[in-house]
Every structure is written in structure tokens, then in C-alpha cells.
Amino acid sequence: MDAITLLKTDHRAVEALLKQVQDLSESAHAQRQELFRKIDKELTVHSKMEETIFYPALKQKAKSKEDDDATQEVLEAYEEHANVKSMLQKLENTDAADETYDAKLEVLSELVKHHVHEEEHVMFKEATELMDESELEQLGIKLSEFKGQLLSGVPA
Ligand SMILES: [Fe+2]
């Protein structure tokens, strides 16, 4: 699977989980906490894959082709990941019964949606212009190998 298809598949999985958690009643504390744990894991693994493999490859390519817009896009994506991470940490430290829990989930969802939209409508388009099919295919292989390592708990 090429890198972009793989990353988009991850996006759809996170969106589905976010929708599930938002559909639960606010009083379903245990279920919300459990779903949040899955979202936390998905987003953490996904961000690591992008930050370790996809972003550096794209940034290097953008720099070598003097594509300032694409370089900027990658730099913005790192900052957006940092915001997502900070909201994940807040949620990890907040009890699901807390009155701010729902607000935090909502903001997390907005951050993720914005970031996914930006990647799919801007960054991935730039990536397909900067890299050819075989490069994207190679990156996809690296990403899925790395994902396998992260999920099996092998230190990467
Ligand atoms: Fe991302």
C-alpha cells in the first residue's frame, strides 16, 4: 500500500472512533474512557509514523526541490501534532466524570479534523507532486513495518 493510502486509512479509523465516543452519552464514563484509550493509542502510533518516516522524507524532498510551501506545510503539521498531543495528555489526566471531559474531547476532535483535512487536501497533494509512485510505495512499506513494530511494543 502506498504511503498516502495507508495514512488515509488510519485517518478514517480515528474519525470512526471519535464519532463513536461522541455518540455515547456523557454519563457513560467507563465506555468513554475505554474508547479514549483506543483513540489515544491510534493517534500516538499514527503521529509517530508520520513524524519518524513520512514528514522527514517529504521535508527532505521539498527542500531538495526548493518547494517552500511544502516545507512550510510539514513544519505546520509538526506543530499541529504537538497540539493534539497536549490535548491527549490533558484527557489522560482528566477523569471521564469531570465536567471538562466532554469539552476536551470536543477540542481534540476539532484539532484532529482540521489536521486531517489539511493533510489530505494540501500536504498529500504536494507529496504526490514531489514524489513518484515508487517512492510513495517504498515509504508505505517503511510506514507499515514501523507501525508493526510500534504495535508489537518493540522499541523503534
Ligand atoms: Fe498527522
Distance from C-alpha of 89 to C-alpha of 94, rounded to nearest angstrom: 9
CB under 5 Å of ion ligand 1: residues = 50
Please state the domain extents for the chain.
3-151
The CA radius of gyration of the chain, in Å to the nearest whole number, is 16
Cβ atoms of 44 and 88 within 8 Å: the answer is yes
pLDDT score of 100: 96
pLDDT score of 42: 95
| CA 116 to ligand 1 center in whole angstroms | 6
SS3 assignment, position 66: coil
pLDDT score of 26: 84
| CA 71 to ligand 1 center in whole angstroms | 15
Angle separating helix axes 55-64 and 68-92, nearest 10 degrees:
160
User: Which residue ranges of the chain lie beneath pLDDT 50?
Assistant: 156
Give the count of beta carbons closer than 10 Å to the beta carbon of residue 134. Answer: 9
Cell numbers linked to 19: 464519532
pLDDT score of 155: 57
- For the entire predicted model, the pTM comes to 0.92
pLDDT digits (tens, 9 = 90+) for 29-61: 999 999 999 999 999 999 999 999 999 999 999
pLDDT score of 153: 77
| CA 46 to ligand 1 center in whole angstroms | 7
| CA 104 to ligand 1 center in whole angstroms | 19
Cell numbers linked to 66: 526548493
| CA 27 to ligand 1 center in whole angstroms | 30
